[in-house]
Amino acid sequence: MEIHIVIGTGIVFRTISLGHYEARPNGNLNGVVLWAHLGYVLQRNNRIGFQIAAKFGFNGCVANLRQTSDGVLVCAHDDGFIGNDSNTYNISEHTYSEIENTIGYNFGTSSRDNGNYYANILEDKHLVTVEEFLYICATTGMLPKFSVRYDVNWNTFKTLLIRFGFYGNGKCTLVHNSTFYRIIRENALPVLGDNVRYCIEYTSGSETMDIALTQATALGNVPILIEPVSKATWTQEEVDTIVNAGYIPSAAPDFTTFNKYEEFIKLGIREFTVNEIANVCIGV
C-alpha cells in the first residue's frame, strides 16, 4: 500500500513512523512518498527552500499557487505582500514585472512566503514563478504538488505541466480543502481531468472525513489522496476507511505536541543549525 507523508516547514530532519511504515530523507522509504512542505525551510515558497528539499532527498515538494494580474503563475501563499517601501500590495493586482522590478517582493503578509528569518543565508527576495518551480522539480527528480487557494488560468497551468513532463500519470498533485473544492471541481477538473492527482484535506473528526469522501466521489474516477490536517497521526480505522474507498492516505504529521528535546531525539529527529543549512545551500 502506498502512503504519502508531508513533512512540515522548519529546520528539522525528521524520522516519521506510521504503523510499520518509516521514512527518512535519503533513507529507505519503504513504500512511503515524502513531500517537503513549501520547501522544508522557514522561508517558504522560495528557490533556495525548494532546492534544499531536493538536496535532502525528498520525493516531491509542495508549493502554493497564485496568479499575477497579467496571468503569470507564481508560488505564494498570500495575495498580499510587502514591497520595498514597506507598504502592502496584492499579487493579483499587479503584473509580474511590476512586482519584481518596481514594487519589490519582500515577503507575504503572513510571513509564509520568503521572509527574513535567516538574512544573508536563506533570504531570497523573489516571487518564484511556477515555471521556475517546475524547472527545479524536473531537474532534481522531485514531483510537484500545489496547494490551491486561488483560481488561476488552468490552461496555462496545463501547458507548463506538459512542457516540464508532469502532465499525466499522477505526476502532479493539486491540494485543496472544502473551502476551495469548487475551484477544483468546476474550473480545474474540466481542463486537467485525470492527468493530475488531487489531494483533499480534512480536519479531524468523522463528519469531515465524510465530507472528504463525498468530495472525492463527486470528482469522479480521478486519482485522489486524502490528507488530515490539525492532527498528528492516522488511526488504523481511518487508513482502512480511505483505502477501502479506493483512495490513498496522505499524512501531515504535526510534531508541536513534543515539547521536550529528548522526545525528538527518541524519534530520530535532530534540528539543523543555520550554518548546516548554509552548507547544504552551497552550489544552489
Angle between helices 130-140 and 47-55 (to 10 degrees): 20
**pLDDT, tens only, 215-247:** 999 999 899 988 876 655 566 777 788 888 888
Residue 142 vs residue 17, higher pLDDT? 142
Q: Using the predicted structure, report yes or no on whether residue 276 has a pLDDT greater than 60.
A: no
Provide mean pLDDT across the span 31-60: 76
Q: What are phi and psi of 145, to 5 degrees?
A: -130, 135
Quick one: 235 exposed, middle or buried, by C-beta within 10 A (0-12, 13-18, 19+)?
exposed
- The C-alpha angle 56, 62, 282, rounded to 5 degrees, equals 35
Residue 24 vs residue 172, higher pLDDT? 172
Look at residue 26 in the predicted model and tell me its pLDDT.
47
Look at residue 87 in the predicted model and tell me its pLDDT.
92
